[in-house]
Amino acid sequence: MNSPITHLIPCRDGVDDGSVAQLSAAVARIDAAARHLQSQQFMALVAQEVQGAVRQALSPWADRRALADYLHTSVSEVDRAHAAGIIQSHPRNSAPLFEKSAVDAVIRAGKWRKLA
């Protein structure tokens, strides 16, 4: 049993080489994942995603998915309210864009109850 983890197995009685190989492979995958999490590329990806989330949170506008997230509801619920004329949208290309403050006003007026 020559493996970097054999010293971690206190009692090797009944532990076959295949099990040690599986454990070694798992340790190698964990080590590779840890190196990836510490890489500049991963950190840049995290920073990019955080910036996008902050931009979306601070924007007065939302697409269907972002509005559903903002309201803690489903996209289909947003679609139903939009189709019923309860909430209004502004066209952007071929997708609707919603003004968050206008949707908030509709909810405050009791015209649409957002789901929790």
Residue 39, sorted as left (phi over 0), alpha (psi -120 to 50) or beta, turns out to be beta
Question: How high is the pLDDT of residue 12?
Answer: 59
pLDDT reported for residue 15: 66
* Domain boundaries, given as residue ranges, for the chain: 14-58, 60-116
- As a whole number of angstroms, the distance between CA 51 and CA 112 comes to 31
Give mean pLDDT in consecutive 10-residue pieces for the chain, a chain of 116 residues. Answer: 56 69 86 89 92 90 94 94 94 91 94 67
Q: How far is CA 13 from CA 10, 21, 58, 98, in A?
A: 9, 15, 60, 65
How many residues does the structure list for the chain?
Answer: 116
Give the whole-angstrom CA distance, residue 12 versus residue 20: 9
What's the confidence (pLDDT) of residue 1? Answer: 45
CATH class of 60-116: mainly alpha
